[in-house]
A and B are shown apart, each in its own frame.
Chain A
Amino acid sequence: MFDLTGKTALVTGASGGIGAAIARTLHQAGATVALSGTKVEALEALAAELGDRAVVVPANLSDPAAVEALAKDAEAKLGQVDILVNNAGLTRDGLILRMKDEDWASVIDVNLTAAFRLSRALVKGMMKRRWGRIIGITSIVGVTGNPGQVNYAASKAGMIGMTKALAAEVASRNITANCVAPGFIATAMTDVLADAQKEKLTAGVPAGRLGTPDEIASAVLYLASTEAGYVTGQTLHVNGGMAMI
């Protein structure tokens, strides 16, 4: 079950905690993976760890030309891209009263517009081959909102809407588009928090703990699989019951 042998996948933000876990999981399932991100050293290290069937395709997603180049680079190195995981994302938190235009724009550019551009570039080949998977890593806050994150929440909600429209457009070509929405996940970002802060964080989670990157990666693997071919336009929430929607 969930065998991706012979399939190729492009994962953006692959140097981050969740992105690396996604790349490892897809690779383990047999896929050849292209690792994208801005931290070239971290990507090279991950590629070396994975060994065969892993290539590095660095890109700065805030640059439109670089996004187009990334799609071409990935197709050149992988032969074709069957699975696209739009995972790259950044935050520029602040209350709306204090939020600068550039904080709004940079978050929308990387989290949403880059995902749109990559999807547009790579869906073409998927349509020709009559098989494809486009998976967006969104966030619980795209559905629930969160103070201090109007830009981030908008980008993540935008990704959910874009995914639904895209799913409707290409469903007849055997291409699915879905989102995975993590709740609180243990990454380098949460490791630095004090225990008291972590306790506060988990108080609102029925599962009583943070999630792991591997638990996000497993959801991505399912949506990438042939078995999930009839699931499209959906958002799979992986949040320990923090929000049941």
Chain B
Amino acid sequence: MTKSELIANLAARFPQLVVKDAELSVKAIIDSMADNLASGERIEIRGFGSFSLNYRPPRLGRNPKTGSKVQVPEKYVPHFKAGKELRERVDLVE
């Protein structure tokens, strides 16, 4: 499912709204989640999961083209942990 399919599905769920409302809603939700993560805040969606940042310490890497060593600075990377309901619903394997 892509973002445009998600928008179409939501628009179908809310016949009283115009498609533009679904589109703006999806954009607002995604932008807000990205902004909050970038500002170091957690996101907790009950039944879905949580997003947080994981720390990666600085390390010595290599340029794969030239083989020369490069210092890779410390950084934070986004991390997602699925919530209970999502975990249980996707794990319906026999």
Q: Do A and B bind each other?
A: no
